[in-house]
Chain A
């Protein structure tokens, strides 16, 4: 499976290890909720972490921990802002990474941690969301979508997945924002920032969100500013700021601004 090939380990276990875990985690057979077994035919490709080498889950893979992603709820929906830099050590591997995954026209997911993990599981989530929509003749709620994702990755807990994502969308209860990670956390909230530059981003957004009712323009500016400031101080964040706005009709890609352009713009404003 995708996970096994990424980690390239010889100790792939084709036993029932994963299957028992799965039953405990969800408490119901997947066919009843319409979720087919992820690992193909009834075997689950569980990866046993090798305790013999002593390095445990520390494997040399490119992780996007060096990143800044943020999302916050406001009166008119959810703003999602991310940077676009990928680093391997001190080498900048790419300045044009797409860290927002478009799950479906009204749900977005952000990427932090392992790029393959994030995009793979979120694409799987997109499939489940679509099946839900067809079966139940209505869109899936953000709470349910984030729960499906959290339950999926929980079965692989401790096996080396690295994913810190924010599931953002708009459903019949209004704007929805959930933080889901590979440890099994799933938290509902109004504001999240994930990655090495998250602290700088929090500073900007926390001070900018003081006035409760922001217009869409102001909220977009705030998100853009927050990512910019994070890229200014954090070496592992940079590239462009990709900004999305989730509203009642779905999500819209607001802008893609190069950080250096933003720098010049803000400097000019200061003068």
Chain B
């Protein structure tokens, strides 16, 4: 079979149906939320319910791309694996040829151009993932970018992708404060946003943070529980 027929072609009203369908696949994936604070960047994901016999440590939705960048995704896990691998290699290639770590924008641009290429190639389908890419550039500025299956990317202050992304984003819009100085506030915002849509609280949340000039840290279950209890107490106080 020769790969001479494109799968992603325009519809009469200007849509790329395959890309739209890919975005539907993303909407079925588990929620991921990202928040950019002043001195810390946070990514939180909804942990998928694992079967009893499954080791839950092998299901990792937050991947580090380099010392200064990490990402989470929503959608087809297998597609994400490919993108993450290519991005990791590109981060190292950039370090080799330019003798500097890649900026968050650079690696986001790279990932987006891969995704775009697959919407314009013969015999291939688009990637079925959206990703949230966060990190610090080597000059210290924090960034949060979101990419989608069409290959576009935008910078955000806080965003969510996956199941119920709309609800979470509305929550973030209501509660995001500019220039959140405190790291705890940024982390709490991410957890509160996830708690809106995740059933049964802290057990089903996975969180990763990165402070400036430090490497990515996955929060342990107990730490997440601490934040959750603090949030609950605050909620009680308010009502």
Seen from chain A, the residues whose Cβ lies within 8 Å of a Cβ on chain B are 26-28, 32-33, 136, 140-141, 143-144, 147-148, 151
Contacts and interface: CB of A to CB of B under 8 A. Distances in A.
B93 A141 contact: no
B93 A28 contact: yes
Interface of B: 89-90, 93-94, 96-100, 103, 106, 110
B98 A147 contact: yes
A28 B103 CA distance: 18
A33 B90 CA distance: 9
Nearest to B117: A31
A148 B96 CA distance: 10
A141 B100 contact: yes
Contact of A144 (B90, B98, B110): B98
A144 B97 contact: yes
B117 to A, nearest CB: 9
A28 B99 contact: no
Contact of B93 (A27, A136, A140, A143): A27
A28 B96 CA distance: 11
Complex A-B, nearest 7 residue pairs according to Cβ-Cβ distance, in ascending order: A144-B98, A143-B99, A28-B93, A147-B97, A144-B99, A33-B97, A27-B93
B65 to A, nearest CB: 15
B115 to A, nearest CB: 14
11 contacts: A26-B93, A27-B93, A28-B90, A33-B97, A136-B106, A141-B98, A141-B100, A143-B100, A144-B99, A147-B98, A151-B97
Contact of A32 (B93, B96, B99): B93
Given A32-B110, A136-B106, A147 B99 contact: yes
Contact of A27 (B96, B100, B103): B96
B102 to A, nearest CB: 10
Nearest to B109: A135
A147 B96 CA distance: 9
Contacts of A147: 97-99
Nearest to A137: B105
A189 B99 CA distance: 16
A166 B197 CA distance: 59
Contacts of A28: 89-90, 93, 97
Contacts of A148: 97
Contacts of B90: 28, 32
Contacts of A32: 90, 93, 110
Nearest to B113: A32
A33 B110 CA distance: 9
A40 to B, nearest CB: 22
Contact of A141 (B89, B99, B103): B99
A26 to B, nearest CB: 7
B93 A33 contact: yes
Nearest to A146: B99
B97 A26 contact: yes
B151 to A, nearest CB: 15
Contacts of A140: 98
